[in-house]
Amino acid sequence: MFTGIVSGAGTVLDVTHNQEQSLAVLRLHAPGHASDLDLGGSIAINGVCLSATSNDGETLSLDVMGETLQRTTIGELRAGDRVNLERCTPAGARLDGHVVQGHVDTVGTVLARTDHGQWTKFRVGLPAAYAPFVAEKGSIALDGISLTVTAVSAARDAEHWVEVGIIPITLRETTMGQRQVGDRINIETDVLAKYVARLRGFEVQD
């Protein structure tokens, strides 16, 4: 489990795709995050929970399966890209963000970025199928960052979106500071909303 409190940044070294096996290997420089990460241990990369397959203390390799490549932006990463990093939450630690599984639901697109001096508002579009899982003042994880939803589209709208406000430290320390209109971004909706929907018989229709 994660909390969506990004603890640092990593740099992509390369992504190697194996089309026959529907698999990719992500290799990245992760200073301060790799030294005590055991093989098979979990780390969130832009909100995607992945397991370390090799580790020399600063450089990690992680296998990415086809389902993850299909649902997230991991397969779009290129050498030199900056990524958000978060290690899994130890038992007894403070839950400063919200419950984040690292199980990305879908990919959204930045529709608007409005700078307000000390903070920035982002509007992110998301597929209609996932709009019911988002509520104003609820929680959402964008590229692994725990954020509070400040506004949502109306249920009857043709285009579905969420808005979030980003404070300076988050702009500075995460990838959100680099995000521009048109950028694709990983979205994980609130797990509680998904379980409630499941119990009520609601099925996601992609």
pLDDT of 204 reads: 73
Angstrom distances, CA of residue 201 to CA of 27, 132, 194, 198, 205: 40, 13, 11, 5, 12
By the 8 A CB rule, do 184 and 71 touch? no
The 10s digit of each residue's pLDDT in 96-142 is 889 999 999 999 999 999 999 889 999 999 999 999 999 999 999 99
Does the pLDDT of residue 205 top 70, yes or no? no
Q: What mean pLDDT do residues 30-47 have? A: 92
Tell which residue, 26, 33, 27, has the closest CA to residue 8: 33
pLDDT band at 95 (very low <50, low <70, confident <90, very high): confident
How far, in Å, CA of 107 to CA of 125, rounded?
A: 9
Q: Mean pLDDT, the chain, as a whole number? A: 93
How far, in Å, CA of 74 to CA of 28, rounded?
A: 12
Q: What mean pLDDT do residues 52-79 have? A: 94
Helix residue ranges, H only, the chain = 66-71, 168-173, 191-199
pLDDT of 92 reads: 83
How far, in Å, CA of 16 to CA of 19, rounded?
A: 10
The topology (CATH level 3) of 106-199 is Elongation Factor Tu (Ef-tu); domain 3 (2.40.30)
- pTM score, whole prediction: 0.93
pLDDT of 27 reads: 97
Q: Do 106-199 and 8-87 have the same topology in CATH? A: yes
The topology (CATH level 3) of 8-87 is Elongation Factor Tu (Ef-tu); domain 3 (2.40.30)
Which residue ranges make up each domain of the chain?
8-87, 106-199
By the 8 A CB rule, do 37 and 49 touch? no
